[in-house]
Chains A and B, each alone.
Chain A
Amino acid sequence: MTGAKAAREPTYRDALREALREALAADERVFLMGEDVGRYGGAFGVSLGLLDEFGPDRVRDTPLSESAFVGAGVGAAIAGLRPIVEVMTVNFSLLALDQILNNAATLLHMSGGQVAVPLVIRMTTGAGRQLAAQHSHSLEGWYAHIPGIRVLAPATLDDARYMLAPALADPDPVVIFEHGSLYNVTGTPDPGAAPVDLDSAAVRRAGSDVTLITHGGSLGKALEAAERLATDSIEAEVVDLRTLRPLDDATALASVARTHRAVVIDEGWRTAGLSAEVAARIAEQGFYDLDAPVERVCGAEVPVPYARQLEEAALPQVAGIVAAARRAVG
């Protein structure tokens, strides 16, 4: 099914796979490991076919122990390899948080600059697919909290395709969040696309009245909200943060300086979340540009429910974004 679809119009999943294939082909130090990434083709089908193409040394199935195989990835990176570790979902990654925070993110500092950890960790995040609380949370903000790592959230096909190479080239650990609802999104790849500049956010839509700041799985909703607002003669600018750490606040603030109003959309929880960080920076650095309080549209502060209607109610939706933008514009 996936393969048939890919033959016609590429999906986000295809873009990720193509990026992996390119990375594996380009540098023999690169290898992929994780639960079911080999024979099964990856829990979300991203690595389907790569085992046949590159063999078991380059595409390795691991035991069911996140701490163990992420730790192995840290070791391999220190030893000179370029591991790409797939952790099925962000919820499971908490089992490996000790490796990520205490080892990957910290070793360069604790070794006085002698031990770098060039590791790439991929994981799925987000809700919207009725997978219930243990498979649906958005914890990007937790990882963005950690100094020493880079956190990426590719929201478009081109970002999915072209973020991996610069991530592998980064001497520091990089965590890439793939939103689960994006895998089947199709699109036309930009023929002129180049490796993504991991330091800058992207303005996905220009506007003059309000800035919608978001990332990952909420980008599509923000763009749809912007279209709806446009029918109301409210021109919304949509900023895709793209890199959640280090946060490119300059792009967001430049936009707010133009529009004077900001709505932050984050599927994560509101309290102490990524949206709080973005809103705080706007208040710190853009206070005198604001003509309305910063609005936030976030996930409800509950474990993400299984039932479809409840799940939808718990997540940011287009109507909520539109309403927040209208409040801001007044």
Chain B
Amino acid sequence: MAEFTMPALGADMTEGTLLEWLVHPGDRVARGDIVAVVDTAKAAIEVECFETGTVERLLVEPGATVPVGAAMAVIDTVKSAPEPAPGLAPEPARAGGPGATPLVRHLAEDSGVDLAAVHGTGPGGRITRADVVAAVPGKWTGKRQVAPRRPATGAQALPSGSRVRATPLARRVAAEAGLDLATVTGTGTDGAVRVSDVRAVIGTASPPTPPPTPPAPSPESAQTRAAADRQQAMRRAVGDLMARSKREIPHYYLSTTVGLSPAIDWLRARNRQLPVSKRLVPAALLLKAAALAAREVPQLNGFWTDGGFVRAPAVHLGVAVALRGGGLVAPAIHDAADLSPAELMARLRDLVTRARAGRLRGSETTDPTITVTSLGDQGVEAVFGVIYPPQVALVGLGRVVERPWAVDGMLGVRPVVTATLSADHRASDGATGARYLAALDRLLQKPEEL
């Protein structure tokens, strides 16, 4: 028996509001499955489960605000079959097919998404719920209400004979919420759907703030007010965290200019052989180099907690993403140092899309071990950032610009980028920081090895 608890989705988070359960009692969950959507001051975040087992009970109703660490569900880990060893195909039932949990596969079926065509971004390439959601063309509304399996020709979507067993009240509440009863797991007699099952899915009300993705026209007043509230809350959350950072962390700053001729030349040559969709941008190389450098200089990759530095075992590269309408999140690209630049780029694109859609996952927001902020696309040449507590370093990347640049005594016009490092002086000294920037520089001179 294990508890699923309200995660701390950031150092500044003390409590969260459950928006939605994505599982029901009786559902099988595996480590990494997304089980709930939690609203923090910053965004609605999809939270993963850290246990493998069967959901026994949901302890918290959607809409409830609970402190970090409070139990939200009970997961029976005993009933569960052993999880396939990491590295193996996660779904033996579909030999050769893409890996996905039953929940995700169910969602894909309902959404009319062919799993074979979906690129998995989960651990071991597993297809996650978010991947399926992303693959549904413009249909996602943030609810479990999914697109019909086929274009609706009549009112009856379900074939006759497959009527869902549900109580009248459950039916009424589901209808009012626009929820398809077929997506609800019943806990009543003979699996009848009861109102509590419906409420578990839809929450007591619709989520307090609509995810910003669908730019669909909607009744303005309420929505804009909610958006304004969210922006205010976001501003406050960012403000609190940054104030804490500046108050508690003695920052030191280093800056260096890195020549990018080899990297850009290599990129150009490589891109020429690739279709447009597969081409890389310099950011992919920069991120990869930043991650590898962090692995080389582990004193900057980790957390300052309880008065000491704790080194992180892997590099989960946080990427600062500016949100539309203001605000900032810095979700992690897991194991960034192990990804190829192409993979990194795909991840980055996915992450930015989801961050702006307000559908980040819990581990993505809690995991970053070192963060990169890049304001290059805004035209600035250098950014000296504020460290994200409890991390101890932040890498700033400016715009790639052409400058007169001397190499081996020869002056030429070459692309360069200004890389900066803001680091926690409690955890490291300038010399360590300098080693990091030096490593970054060196790595970028051999792009083919990235």
Q: Is the CB of B188 within 8 A of A330?
A: yes
CB-CB under 8 A from A289, the residues of chain B are 168-169
CB-CB under 8 A from A330, the residues of chain B are 187-189, 194
Q: Is the CB of B168 within 8 A of A288?
A: yes
Q: State the CA gap A252–B160 with chains docked (Å).
A: 35
Q: Is the CB of A260 within 8 A of B169?
A: yes
> Which A residues, 300 to 330, have Cβ-Cβ distances below 8 Å to chain B?
327, 330
Q: State the CA gap A287–B169 with chains docked (Å).
A: 8
A89-108 CB mask vs B (1 if < 8 Å, else 0) is: 00000000000000000000
The verdict on B440 contacting chain A, using a C-beta distance below 8 Å, is no
A244 to chain B, nearest CB (A): 26
B275 to chain A, nearest CB (A): 56
Q: State the CA gap A264–B35 with chains docked (Å).
A: 40
Q: State the CA gap A330–B191 with chains docked (Å).
A: 11
The verdict on B22 contacting chain A, using a C-beta distance below 8 Å, is no
In the complex, what residue of chain B is closest to A289 when comparing beta carbons?
B169
A201-240 CB mask vs B (1 if < 8 Å, else 0) is: 0000000000000000000000000000000000000000
> Which B residues, 174 to 200, have Cβ-Cβ distances below 8 Å to chain A?
187-189, 194-196
Residues on B close to A: CB < 8 A?
Answer: 167-172, 187-189, 194-196
> Which A residues, 264 to 298, have Cβ-Cβ distances below 8 Å to chain B?
287-292
B402 to chain A, nearest CB (A): 70
A235 to chain B, nearest CB (A): 15
CB-CB under 8 A from B189, the residues of chain A are 327, 330
A109 to chain B, nearest CB (A): 38
Q: Is the CB of A291 within 8 A of B170?
A: yes
Q: Is the CB of A291 within 8 A of B195?
A: yes
In the complex, what residue of chain A is closest to B195 when comparing beta carbons?
A291
A260 to chain B, nearest CB (A): 5
Q: State the CA gap A246–B297 with chains docked (Å).
A: 86
Q: State the CA gap A330–B190 with chains docked (Å).
A: 11
Q: Is the CB of B188 within 8 A of A260?
A: no
Q: State the CA gap A327–B169 with chains docked (Å).
A: 17
Q: Is the CB of A290 within 8 A of B168?
A: yes
Q: State the CA gap A330–B193 with chains docked (Å).
A: 11
Q: State the CA gap A290–B188 with chains docked (Å).
A: 13
B175 to chain A, nearest CB (A): 9
Q: Is the CB of B169 within 8 A of A288?
A: yes
In the complex, what residue of chain A is closest to B171 when comparing beta carbons?
A288
A-B contact count (CB 8 A): 27
Instruction: Report how many residues on chain A are interfacial, defined by Cβ distance under 8 Å.
Output: 9
Q: State the CA gap A288–B169 with chains docked (Å).
A: 5
Nearest first, the 8 A-B pairs at minimum CB distance are A291-B169, A288-B172, A291-B167, A291-B195, A287-B168, A290-B168, A288-B168, A260-B169
B88 to chain A, nearest CB (A): 40
CB-CB under 8 A from B171, the residues of chain A are 288
Q: State the CA gap A260–B195 with chains docked (Å).
A: 9
In the complex, what residue of chain A is closest to B193 when comparing beta carbons?
A291
Q: State the CA gap A292–B195 with chains docked (Å).
A: 9
CB-CB under 8 A from A327, the residues of chain B are 189
A140 to chain B, nearest CB (A): 29
Q: State the CA gap A292–B286 with chains docked (Å).
A: 61
In the complex, what residue of chain B is closest to A290 when comparing beta carbons?
B168
CB-CB under 8 A from A292, the residues of chain B are 167, 188, 194
CB-CB under 8 A from B188, the residues of chain A are 292, 330
Q: State the CA gap A291–B166 with chains docked (Å).
A: 8
Interface pairs (13), CB distance under 8 Å? A260-B169, A260-B195, A288-B168, A289-B168, A289-B169, A290-B167, A291-B167, A291-B194, A291-B196, A292-B188, A330-B187, A330-B189, A330-B194
CB-CB under 8 A from A290, the residues of chain B are 167-169
Q: State the CA gap A260–B196 with chains docked (Å).
A: 11
B195 to chain A, nearest CB (A): 5
Extra inter-chain contacts (4) besides given A260-B195, A288-B171, CB under 8 Å: A289-B168, A291-B167, A291-B170, A327-B189
Which of B169, B170, B171, B189 is packed against the most chain A CB atoms within 10 Å? B169
Q: State the CA gap A249–B374 with chains docked (Å).
A: 69
In the complex, what residue of chain B is closest to A260 when comparing beta carbons?
B169
Which of B168, B188, B194 is packed against the most chain A CB atoms within 10 Å? B168
CB-CB under 8 A from B195, the residues of chain A are 260, 291
Q: State the CA gap A291–B195 with chains docked (Å).
A: 6
CB-CB under 8 A from A288, the residues of chain B are 168-169, 171-172
CB-CB under 8 A from B170, the residues of chain A are 291
CB-CB under 8 A from A287, the residues of chain B are 168
CB-CB under 8 A from A260, the residues of chain B are 169, 195
Q: State the CA gap A268–B127 with chains docked (Å).
A: 61
Q: State the CA gap A3–B342 with chains docked (Å).
A: 99
CB-CB under 8 A from B172, the residues of chain A are 288
CB-CB under 8 A from B187, the residues of chain A are 330
Q: State the CA gap A287–B195 with chains docked (Å).
A: 13
In the complex, what residue of chain A is closest to B167 when comparing beta carbons?
A291
B133 to chain A, nearest CB (A): 31
Q: State the CA gap A327–B194 with chains docked (Å).
A: 13
Q: State the CA gap A260–B194 with chains docked (Å).
A: 10
A154 to chain B, nearest CB (A): 34
In the complex, what residue of chain B is closest to A292 when comparing beta carbons?
B167
In the complex, what residue of chain A is closest to B198 when comparing beta carbons?
A291
In the complex, what residue of chain B is closest to A286 when comparing beta carbons?
B168
A210 to chain B, nearest CB (A): 13
A144-156 CB mask vs B (1 if < 8 Å, else 0) is: 0000000000000
B199 to chain A, nearest CB (A): 10
Q: State the CA gap A124–B168 with chains docked (Å).
A: 39
Q: State the CA gap A292–B194 with chains docked (Å).
A: 8
Q: State the CA gap A287–B171 with chains docked (Å).
A: 11
CB-CB under 8 A from A291, the residues of chain B are 167-170, 194-196
In the complex, what residue of chain A is closest to B189 when comparing beta carbons?
A330
A146 to chain B, nearest CB (A): 32
Q: State the CA gap A296–B12 with chains docked (Å).
A: 54
Q: State the CA gap A291–B167 with chains docked (Å).
A: 5
> Which A residues, 101 to 146, have Cβ-Cβ distances below 8 Å to chain B?
none
Which of A289, A290, A291, A330 is packed against the most chain B CB atoms within 10 Å? A291
Q: State the CA gap A291–B194 with chains docked (Å).
A: 6
A180 to chain B, nearest CB (A): 37
Q: State the CA gap A292–B165 with chains docked (Å).
A: 11
B1 to chain A, nearest CB (A): 21
Q: State the CA gap A260–B171 with chains docked (Å).
A: 13
CB-CB under 8 A from B194, the residues of chain A are 291-292, 330
Q: State the CA gap A288–B196 with chains docked (Å).
A: 14
CB-CB under 8 A from B196, the residues of chain A are 291
A55 to chain B, nearest CB (A): 60
Q: State the CA gap A289–B170 with chains docked (Å).
A: 9
Q: State the CA gap A159–B230 with chains docked (Å).
A: 58
B187 to chain A, nearest CB (A): 7
